[in-house]
């Protein structure tokens, strides 16, 4: 098999697989050292800002405003090489990767391949539900919502119409809560204007959470606050149960209830993306790769894992760190320092996570925030959520576009992005 065309130099080659929060942060840090050649491999040529996928799905933001091209980020970095492809296998003996483009050798390999949707082995749900772990999936959801509202306008049969306008969300974490809040606001402010022939009171939005609390990774106060906000917005929250089956028309819960919907949004969990060549014993529950305190893959030399794919267990954290962006970025920053230490033959330092807090928004003026020493909710929490997410978005243009969209939406109770964009190969007129 041919080698990928990357210059062979005296620089130490660090290959990073995955350009999410962890992989991109590491690449940016390492690119500052000319003694290191950085090779970034990703199936896309852009970074995706995942926390705002739901706003694209709800037609609140343009897709282009939450993505940023890798080559734009590194256009002045001559020691960074980007290859758009997938890694099919890792050969730890020869220190090489196999890809459809060819073989790529490495001196140090960093796996930052993130996570994908976890359907917990339910093939029927996996086939029919709509996940939201990528930009194409967010656009698919937007098309499904808007397309079904268009179709519902022509229906006279009440029960059939309900299947097109009612929505079930599975999972009460930040994604599920934020999607439910955005849908409730769309029902309240947008549907009466854009689809005035529909009675918005007919639209039911269900949020199904298997646990007894919303936002299980946050405080009880945050969970109760989110529950009150969603209830006030008209969302029907079902706690302590789970969806056990979904055939594309009806969702069945564990307690025997049947919910009619053509759109079941799955936000109930994630699992790691396994990669061939990494020994089976390296994987923990949820396909996470076990690493030591230096983010080195246990039992494998010259291979690291950071972000959602990695699990670093300890007495204090028997299940590893939470799979959130802050952990990913902090691990990336710390690993860059350790790789620099390697160049200077210095001792590596163990990773220590600093919890900066958690937050979730539930529509305008409503959010919950857990800081290490302070928990609050309401308008101030919502403003803080906006500011934090705005500053994390890459690119001045993207920041301005997102801020402008948010301002227009806030003052007009409207958005102007409700268009259905899909391939002509898909039959948009088929109601079955």
pLDDT digit string (tens) for 146-172? 999 999 999 999 999 999 999 999 999
My answer on whether 131 and 260 are in the same domain is: yes
Answer yes or no: do 51 and 179 share one domain: no
Q: Which of 268, 303, 326 is the last residue of a domain?
A: 268
Q: Which of 209, 239, 268 is the last residue before a domain boundary?
A: 268
Buried b (16+ CB within 10 A) or exposed e, 182-201: bbbbbbebbbeebbeebebe
Q: Are 167 and 146 contacting, i.e. CB atoms less than 8 angstroms apart?
A: no
Task: Check whether residue 245 and residue 318 sit in a common domain.
Answer: no
178 part of the active site: yes
Question: Does residue 228 surpass a pLDDT of 80?
Answer: yes
In a domain, 404, yes or no: no
DSSP classification of residue 309: G
Is pLDDT above 90 for 85? yes
Q: Which domain holds residue 237?
A: 123-268
Strand partners of residue 233: none
Residue 167 near residue 265 (C-beta atoms within 8 A): yes
SS3 for 345?
coil
- Does residue 219 carry a pLDDT above 80? yes
Q: What is the CATH number of the domain that holds 222?
A: 3.50.50.100
Residue 57 resides in a domain: yes
197 falls within a domain: yes
Mean pLDDT over 25-54 rounds to 96
Interval 121-133 mean pLDDT:
94
Domain termination residue (choose one: 249, 268, 287):
268
Q: What's the whole-number average pLDDT of the chain? A: 93
pLDDT band for 416, please (50, 70, 90 cuts): low
Task: Look at residue 360 and tell me if it is in a domain.
Answer: no
The domain total for the chain is 2
* 168 & 107 share domain: no
189 and 240 inside one domain: yes
Same domain flag for 202 and 176:
yes
Q: Residues 135, 20: one domain?
A: no
Cβ atoms of 176 and 168 within 8 Å: the answer is no
Residues 302, 218, single domain; the answer is no
Question: In CATH, what number is assigned to the domain containing residue 80?
Answer: 3.50.50.60
Q: Which token pair is 394?
A: 């890459």
Q: What is the DSSP letter of 276?
A: T
> What is the structure's pLDDT at 423?
64
> Catalytic pick from 8, 178, 220, 249?
178
Give the count of alpha carbons within 13 A of 202, CB side only: 21
């Amino acid at each position: 098999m041919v080698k990928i065309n990357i210059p062979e130099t005296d620089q130490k080659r660090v290959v990073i697989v995955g350009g999410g929060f962890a992989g991109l942060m590491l690449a940016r840090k390492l690119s500052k050292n000319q003694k290191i050649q950085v090779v970034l491999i990703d199936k896309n040529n852009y970074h995706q800002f995942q926390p705002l996928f739901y706003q694209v799905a709800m037609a609140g933001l343009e897709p282009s405003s939450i993505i940023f091209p890798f080559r734009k980020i590194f256009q002045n970095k001559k020691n960074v090489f980007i290859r758009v492809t997938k890694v099919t296998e890792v050969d730890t003996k020869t220190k090489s990767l196999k890809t459809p483009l060819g073989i790529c050798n490495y001196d140090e390999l960093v796996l930052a391949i993130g996570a994908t949707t976890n359907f917990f082995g339910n093939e029927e749900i996996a086939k029919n539900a709509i996940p939201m772990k990528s930009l194409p999936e967010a656009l698919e959801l937007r098309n499904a919502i808007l397309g079904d509202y268009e179709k519902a306008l022509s229906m006279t049969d009440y029960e059939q119409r309900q299947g097109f306008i009612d929505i079930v969300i599975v999972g009460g974490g930040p994604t599920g809560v934020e999607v439910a809040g955005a849908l409730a606001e769309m029902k309240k402010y947008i549907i009466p204007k854009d689809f005035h022939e529909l009675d918005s009171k007919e639209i039911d939005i269900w949020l199904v959470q298997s646990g007894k609390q919303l936002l299980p990774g946050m405080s009880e106060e945050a969970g109760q606050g989110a529950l009150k906000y969603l209830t006030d917005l008209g969302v029907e929250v079902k706690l302590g149960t789970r969806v056990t089956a979904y055939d594309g028309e009806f969702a069945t819960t564990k307690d025997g209830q049947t919910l009619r919907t053509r759109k079941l949004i799955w936000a109930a969990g994630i699992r790691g993306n396994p990669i061939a060549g990494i020994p089976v014993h390296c994987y923990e529950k949820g396909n996470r790769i076990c690493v030591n305190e230096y983010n080195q893959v246990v039992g494998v030399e010259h291979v690291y894992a950071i972000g959602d794919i990695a699990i670093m267990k300890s007495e204090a954290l028997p299940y590893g760190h939470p799979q959130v962006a802050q952990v990913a970025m902090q691990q990336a920053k710390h690993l860059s320092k350790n790789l620099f230490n390697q160049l200077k033959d210095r001792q590596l330092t163990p990773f220590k996570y600093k919890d900066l807090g958690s937050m979730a928004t539930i529509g305008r003026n409503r959010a919950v925030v857990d800081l290490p020493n302070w928990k609050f909710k309401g308008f101030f929490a919502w403003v803080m959520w906006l500011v934090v997410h705005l500053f994390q978005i890459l690119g001045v243009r993207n920041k301005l576009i997102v801020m402008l969209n948010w301002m227009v939406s806030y003052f007009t109770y409207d958005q102007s992005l409700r268009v259905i964009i899909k391939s002509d190969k898909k039959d948009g007129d088929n109601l079955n």
